[in-house]
Structures are given as C-alpha cells and as structure tokens.
Chain A
Amino acid sequence: MSDFEIERVKSGIPGLDDLIEGGFPKGDIILVAGRAGTGKSILANQFLYKGATEYDEPGVLVTLEEPPHLIRRNMMRFGMDLAALEKEGKLSVVDLSPSKEVTPVKIGEYPSFDLSGLEAIILNHVNKIKAKRVVIDTLAILAYKFRSRDILREEFFKLTASITRTGATLLLTSEIPAQHDGLGVFDIEAFLASGVLVLYNEMISQQSRSRSIEVLKLRGSKHSSRIHSMRITDEGIRVWPAEISPGA
C-alpha cells in the first residue's frame, strides 16, 4: 500500500468517522439508506449543519419531500438552527417539496424528459454559496412523482456527476420500502454511490427497539464491517464505534 491519503470530509456525526478512516472521501457520493423512521434525514441535516458550523463548509439542502419549515423545526430540537445558517449564507435550501401552492398538478407524462431543470436549480444554489456539501432528501419521492423510471435512473447518474464535478460531497437519502430487500425504490441507488450507510431501527424485544448503523461500502476506505449502535440524542445522532448493536 502506498502512503497516498484520500482527502476526507468529517461527517459531523460523533463516532461515525472512527468507522470510516476519518470521514467521507471528499467529492464522493454517499447514500444513506434505511426504512422510515431510522434517522436518515437527521443524519443528512446534521452533516450539513456541522459542516457549516465546525468545518467551514457551506451546504445545500435539496428537499423533495419534507417542507423546509418542518425541517427547521425538527432540527431545532437538537439545537441546530438551520435558519440562522441560511441568514449567514452558510446553508441554502432548495424547496422542491410538494407543499408549494404554486406547483402545478401534473396530469400527463411522456417518456421524453430529463432532469436538467433539477440540475440547473441545484447548481445555482451550489455556486451562490460555494457549497462544499450537498444533500438530496430524498430520491425515493421521485419514484412516486414520475412513472418513467428508466429515464430517472439515467438522469440520476448525470445529476449526481454534475454536482460532484463542483467538488462538493453529495449525500443522498433513500427510503427502503417495507418488505423490500434492496437499498431503495430504484435499485440503482447503491450503484450511484461510492459509499453506502444503512440505518436500522430493529425491534429487539416486545418492549424495545435498537438503532444501529452499518457501513455497507465505502470505496477507497477500510471500514468497519460490523453493525454499530447508534442513538438519536438531544444533540443529534451519535454512533458508538466500540459498541456492537444488540440486534446485529
């Protein structure tokens, strides 16, 4: 092995970087997959918040599902004031949630479209604040908005490549549907990403559940192959690198 070291960005999740050689490879695509309620959005927003406040890395949050005012409210519970970061120009929120009143109702779709509009919108925000981190939460919602999944799959490759070409590290969240064995509704999410984290919230007895995290892959890194305990604390998500999940 040579002494070459990959430049890394800190995840902002206490304990996680110990599992992945100190952080995510800079400019890579990281997928955070998990079923509903496993903490994907919290992890993604924490990645942006800590990046802006502790590592001087501005971030862009693209929300395709949850309205921004609810995200801001929910993150305030962990003492993470996203609105303050937006005012300081350290965070930019792209609101593409379905809650917008002016969004037209789509009544027709022909298999002859691309996502160049999404690319232009995101890059506009990235360039404005010179973002180093980008989160898209969540790709899965597009599966319900558009029928033409073959087009979406191809467009995802183009979209993610154009974002990482700016040098930004891209974190995608993907919801694993119930009774589904893959890592997302498109079954290509894991191919898009050079790193995959899977979050769990498994029932371990009749009375309790246990949260855990697994680094399924991370190209260019030696990473833990165990499933580690994870908790959602008052300060956000924390991982216990030395603790193996009781559900594992």
Chain B
Amino acid sequence: MADKAESKDSPNKEEDDGPPIRVVLFKSDTCAFCPRAEEVLVETLEGFGAGLFELEIINVSKNPEAAEKYGVFALPTIMIGGVSVTGIPEPDMIMKMFLGAKVSAKRRASQ
C-alpha cells in the first residue's frame, strides 16, 4: 500500500449504515512520520468493520496535484468528512473524526 500512489478499499456497503465514510491519508516518500500515521489509521479503522469506510491513500510525492487541490501540504494529514488532523494522531482523535463524519452524513441523509 505504501508504494502505491493511491489505493482504495471499497468493502461491501451495509445499507443501514449509509454510504461509507471517505477517509484520506496524505503521505509522501520522504515523510518520516507517515508510516506510523498510516499504521495508527489502519489499526483504528479496522475496529469499525468493513463497509463503514473507504480509505484512500494519496502519496503526494507521486501525486502532488491531489494534495494541492485540497490545500494539504503538511504531512501526514488525515482527512475525514471535511476535517483533518496533521501529524501522527491519537486513535481517539480518529474515532472522534470518524463518528463526527458519521453523524453529519446521517443528518444530511435525513434532511
């Protein structure tokens, strides 16, 4: 996964949970903190179960245009549902962001 410019996991979607939450990790080939951030992110997301998230990894060294589009230039940065965290995050932070995105998505769906 680390060598791919971009990778996507699209597990089976569970209708009751709504569409999967998009999680994006921005990393680079030279960023010393990125491998650990990726480990923390993947381990934390595993706790949510398949179908609830869609993980996209953007390697900025190979795809700088994608990072520029989002205005993300400090790495690692994790983006979940319109908010982001920079640096190696605590799992709690990822959980909060994920649950926040879930609540927002449900709210939007009910409107």
Which residues of chain A have a CB within 8 Å of any CB of chain B?
94-98, 100, 102-118, 120-121, 123-124, 146, 148
A118 and B73 form a contact (CB under 8 A): yes
B87 and A104 form a contact (CB under 8 A): no
| CB of A62 to closest CB in B, whole Å | 10
The interface on chain B, measured as residues whose beta carbon lies within 8 A of the other chain's beta carbons, has a size of 35
**B30 at interface by CB-CB < 8 Å:** yes
B33 and A121 form a contact (CB under 8 A): no
A94 and B68 form a contact (CB under 8 A): yes
A117 and B60 form a contact (CB under 8 A): yes
Contact indicator per residue, chain B 32-71, by CB within 8 Å of chain A (1) or not (0): 1100110000000000000000000000110011011111
Which of B13-21, B76-84, B103-111 lies at the interface? B76-84
**B88 at interface by CB-CB < 8 Å:** yes
| CB of A148 to closest CB in B, whole Å | 8
A103 and B74 form a contact (CB under 8 A): no
A104 and B88 form a contact (CB under 8 A): no
**B2 at interface by CB-CB < 8 Å:** no
**B86 at interface by CB-CB < 8 Å:** yes
A107-B97, A120-B67 are known contacts. Are A113 and B75 too (CB-CB below 8 A)?
yes
A104 and B68 form a contact (CB under 8 A): no
Query: Which residues of A have CB within 8 Å of B76?
Result: 113
Query: Which residues of B have CB within 8 Å of A103?
Result: 70-72
A120 and B64 form a contact (CB under 8 A): yes
Partner of A116, one of B30, B79, B83, B89: B30
| CB of B56 to closest CB in A, whole Å | 13
A105-B84, A106-B86 are known contacts. Are A118 and B71 too (CB-CB below 8 A)?
no
A107 and B74 form a contact (CB under 8 A): no
A117 and B89 form a contact (CB under 8 A): no
| CB of B25 to closest CB in A, whole Å | 12
Partner of B85, one of A97, A102, A107, A111: A107
9 contacts between A and B (CB under 8 A): A95-B71, A102-B71, A104-B77, A108-B86, A110-B89, A114-B74, A121-B64, A124-B68, A146-B86
A113 and B68 form a contact (CB under 8 A): no
